[in-house]
Amino acid sequence: MSDRPARRRRGRVLAALAVMVLGCAPFVWQLIATSEHRYGTEDVPERAVAVVLGAGVRPDGLPSHLLAQRLELAVELYEAERVRAVLVTGDNGVEHYNETDTMRDYLIDAGIPADRIVGDHAGFDTWDSCARAAEIFGVEEAVVLSQEFHVPRAINLCRAAGIDAVGVGDDSMSERGTATVYGWVREVPAALAALGTVVLRPDPKVLGDYETGVDEALAQAAEEAATS
């Protein structure tokens, strides 16, 4: 009789450990499954399009630090001629909050021609950004740009959407340690949700007609390459 409380405690501990292991399994699988698709800026394979995923915009209308670092990756890849066009995709679901135009303005100020930048104002989350890039903008191959903690899930979802996606992540730990740790922790439940998305592949929240912005940007790049 005296052993029953101890057995119950052991049972609860084992059950909690089992839940933790099962909860982390999608996250570990995601890291393994995308390992061969993650690169640095110096060795990432060439892709037609860079897809920059949206993040926070400051009250003064400038990109948050994490978003600015994603955009800097796009600038670096464009200048190195590893991508020919940039699709910026983010949230513009409410008045006075516009991730997409903020990202576009930042890239133009950094020297990327305006006709090489395409905006998607309905990229409300990672899956919507990836699905719309494929279905609405016709993106077939891309370098997905975000922070290192987010890139595995972004690659996973974009590949599920039908894009030949590789990814480059910003190492944000040295400058935004707390936000980076939080980002890694957040990815554990997010990976579980992403697994369901990969299986079900729901429509994005907003669809619409095909948009030719990416096609036009790539055509302009090809024309300039042919005459240079």
Q: Residues 32-47: what's their mean pLDDT?
A: 96
Instruction: Specify the pTM.
Output: 0.88
pLDDT at 112: 97
- What pLDDT band is residue 1 in, cutting at 50, 70 and 90? very low
Query: Can you give the CATH number for the domain in which 96 is found?
Result: 3.40.50.620
Which one, of 133, 130, 127, 68, lies nearest residue 103 by Cα?
Answer: 68
pLDDT tens, residue by residue, 4-22: 666 666 655 554 444 455 5
pLDDT at 60: 87
Residue 118, phi then psi, degrees to nearest 5: -120, 140
What is the SS3 string spanning the chain? CCCHHHHHHHHHHHHHHHHHHHHHHHHHHHHHHCHHHEECCCCCCCCCEEEEECCCECCCCCECHHHHHHHHHHHHHHHCCCCCEEEEECECCECCECHHHHHHHHHHHCCCCHHHEEEECECCCHHHHHHHHHHCCCCCEEEEEEECCCHHHHHHHHHHCCCEEEEEEECCCCCCHHHHHHHHHHHHHHHHHHHHHHHHCCCCCCCCCCCCHHHHHHHHHHHHHHHC
- What pLDDT band is residue 97 in, cutting at 50, 70 and 90? confident
Q: Residues 134-142: what's their mean pLDDT?
A: 98
Total domains, the chain = 1
Q: Residues 154-168: what's their mean pLDDT?
A: 98
pLDDT at 12: 59
- Expressed as residue numbers, the domain containing 212 is 4-227
Average pLDDT value for the chain? 90
Can you read off the two tokens belonging to residue 223?
């024309």
CA-to-CA distance for 92 and 101, rounded, in angstroms? 9
pLDDT at 13: 52
Q: Residues 130-136: what's their mean pLDDT?
A: 97
